Amino acid sequence: MSRAEPLPREGGALACAVATAARRCIVGALRLALYPRLRLGTLRCGRPLKTQVQEEALEPEFCPHRQDASTRPRPPPPALEPLKDVHLGLAPPTRGPARLALLSGHYLYYHYGCDGLDDRGWGCGYRTLQTLCSWPEGRPAGVPGLTAVQAALEDMGDKPPGFRGSRSWIGCVEASLCLDHFGGPQGRLCHVPRGAGLQGELERLYSHFAGGGGPVMVGGDADAQSKALLGVCLGPGTEAYVLVLDPHFWGAPKNPSELQAAGWVGWREVGTAFDSNSFYNLCFTSCNSQKQQHALD
């Protein structure tokens, strides 16, 4: 796709903004019912201006991905040492004859709150980008923090002033810009039109992993949850599976087995893992220097 026709951005930012606005209007309506003397002119998004900052900290954190989204905020975990190669030990998804290809090299698993920052509901794209940046050596050196990512996008002119320090989402297009900016692996973008799902990209994914490629970031509009693909399994027959690494985990995982048992990393059938009504962007990673090549050996 030429520069004149930029890739559509994943719809996470819009979905998050709509959901957050709806939540605030509900809170405001309840507040008006409880306190009818408040004048409408003193409200912004359904809340008194003078109490907006204090009340923001008291409202539940919105997270569209998990069932505990409506629970009270929990303190974020302390900064953790990211786990490495958390897919190792998983059995193939089928016992029949199949073509199986996994990523080469090593990576670290970055997820919600892993650095002590509570980014539930908006940080999945950043966490997936961090996982991509840790490849192929599987080390935290050179992996940018969330604030550094936002600052880079703002400095590059991809985002407007004020993006730094916000809770705005990012997707594959932003991830590819940051991979180049921070000198990480090369990021190559691919757009899958709405309605096609990922069925038509399975051979491309297989060739990527079989040829020594790294994790692939994926995100869409109707399906706005960023995630990483670590491998693909084709067959027997028409069966097809992708190995998905989900960054939406919240907590302190003790070992890869815990994540595998809970499904945070695992094989998923393509027909149920992706929304056929959503377009998808993919960001393929590959080595960009001889210095990194030894990590694939």
Q: CA 183: distance to chain centroid?
A: 20
Alpha helix ranges (H) inside the chain: 12-34, 52-56, 124-134, 146-155, 172-181, 202-210, 256-262, 270-273, 290-293
Among the listed residues 111, 248, 275, 283, the single catalytic one is 248
Closest C-alpha among 220, 172, 225 to residue 193: 220
Contact assessment for residue 101 and residue 232, using Cβ atoms and an 8 Å cutoff: yes
Among the listed residues 16, 63, 114, 124, the single catalytic one is 124
In angstroms, what is the C-alpha Rg of the chain?
20
Cα–Cα distances (Å) from 295 to 47, 52, 231, in that order, read 53, 50, 18
Q: CA 177: distance to chain centroid?
A: 15
Largest CA distance in the chain: 71
Is 248 part of the annotated catalytic residue set?
yes
Three-state SS for 73?
A: coil
Taking the C-alpha atoms of residue 194 and residue 274, their distance in angstroms, rounded to an integer, is 11
Q: Report the alpha-carbon angle 168-171-172, nearest 5.
A: 160
Taking the C-alpha atoms of residue 90 and residue 256, their distance in angstroms, rounded to an integer, is 10
Among the listed residues 246, 275, 283, 287, the single catalytic one is 246
Contact assessment for residue 78 and residue 116, using Cβ atoms and an 8 Å cutoff: yes
Is 124 part of the annotated catalytic residue set?
yes
Closest C-alpha among 208, 153, 201, 193 to residue 276: 193
Catalytic residues: 124, 246, 248
